[in-house]
Amino acid sequence: METSEKARSARVSFRSVFSVEGGRLAIGHFNRPLVDEECRKLRFAWERSRLPGVEDFEVTAKQVSFVTPPTAVDSTWASIDKILANPSLHSTS
């Protein structure tokens, strides 16, 4: 059960960061497409608790992207990783 749960867990497997007008555009690709519920919950987590300094955020089944100051890129990736690793993200209740 634990093995199949780990296989199901989504994560950002490839990350790119580009300089844009004094900030950074970060784009991450997931290791597998997110199901609709995962996309909704990730969007909801973003909308409920906007990250300091993150100017824009978008998530699709295949990738996540955000614009942030250079100093906030790593902490934003860490927040996304934490949300994806949260077991409640995969619950149906």
Instruction: Judge whether 26 and 19 are in contact, CB under 8 Å.
Output: no
Position 5 pLDDT exceeds 50 = no
92 in any annotated domain: no
1 in any annotated domain: no
Q: How many structural domains compose the chain?
A: 1
Q: What CATH number has the domain bearing residue 38?
A: 3.30.1360
Does the predicted model carry a pTM greater than 0.85?
no
Q: Give the pair of three-digit tokens for residue 28.
A: 């991450």
Mean pLDDT confidence for 53-68: 90
Instruction: Judge whether 29 and 39 are in contact, CB under 8 Å.
Output: no
Strand pairing class (56-59; 23-30): unpaired
pLDDT of residue 55: 82
**What is d(CA 61, CA 88) in angstroms, rounded to the nearest whole number?**
18
R_g of the chain, CA atoms, integer Å = 13
76 in any annotated domain: yes
54 in any annotated domain: yes
Instruction: Judge whether 56 and 47 are in contact, CB under 8 Å.
Output: no
Boundaries of domain holding 80: 6-85
